[in-house]
Amino acid sequence: MNLKNKKILITGASGGIGNALVKKFSNLDSKIVATGTNEQKLEKLKKNFENIHIEKFRLDEHSKIEEFIDKVDKKLEGFDILVNNAGINLDNLSIRLTEENWKRVLDINLTSTFLMCKFAIKKFLKKRYGKIINITSIVGHTGNLGQANYSASKAGIVAFSKSLAIEYAKKNININCVSPGFIKTDMTDNINEEFKKNLISKIPSGNLGTGEDVSNCVAFLASDMANYINGETIHVNGGMYMA
């Protein structure tokens, strides 16, 4: 799996899965722009890994996304791969979910991902090459208690990724999704132990996944080994959901 000198933009790089993605592509000698909103965590990434540029950027600033893609393209002297990993959740039961929190989750998780794809594809079309990997979620396929907004945003990513894949396949641009199940991160470390035990009991493998499990799959899709895979969603969930 050769990704040496491939130029990659990773969003949500300061989170648990984001860290694993940066580590994986750094170990594969890729050139990376890592973006997120936590400047302290981004600086730590820069210290820990080679071939990495960091850029603090808020994905909810939709009007600035095209300019941001231009900036990344110039910094890397053209980029090859976009990994849309950033996302938020604002959970509540549907009847208690505010319209504001519905819109905010959709704006960041779905609309921002669409715009990142749109302006990246414009760059990829010029060289007739590019790969996009969008990180969705198991709950985009199964739904989840208290996550109507989050589930809708992740399901939307799958659907629009398929449409993009159809539109640009003949231009040698591949768009795929990776759908993680429950992955061990700082967030899952804080889950109530009884709830976590119940959750794990529903996973055939009997354990939570790791960021590396997700990053291995993303790296495969980013490589030339996956050139004939397009419009697909690969599930990384220990068998919790089998599509």
**Residues designated catalytic:** 150
Structure token pair of residue 116: 């990142």
User: What's the first-to-final CA gap in the chain, in angstroms?
Assistant: 26
Phi, psi (degrees; rounded to nearest 5) at 234: -100, 125
Triad 220, 221, 227: Cα angle to 5°: 110
What is the C-alpha separation between 187 and 17, in angstroms, rounded? Answer: 11
Q: How many CA atoms lie within 13 A of 23 on its CB side?
A: 16
- 8 A C-beta contact, residue 183 and residue 210: yes
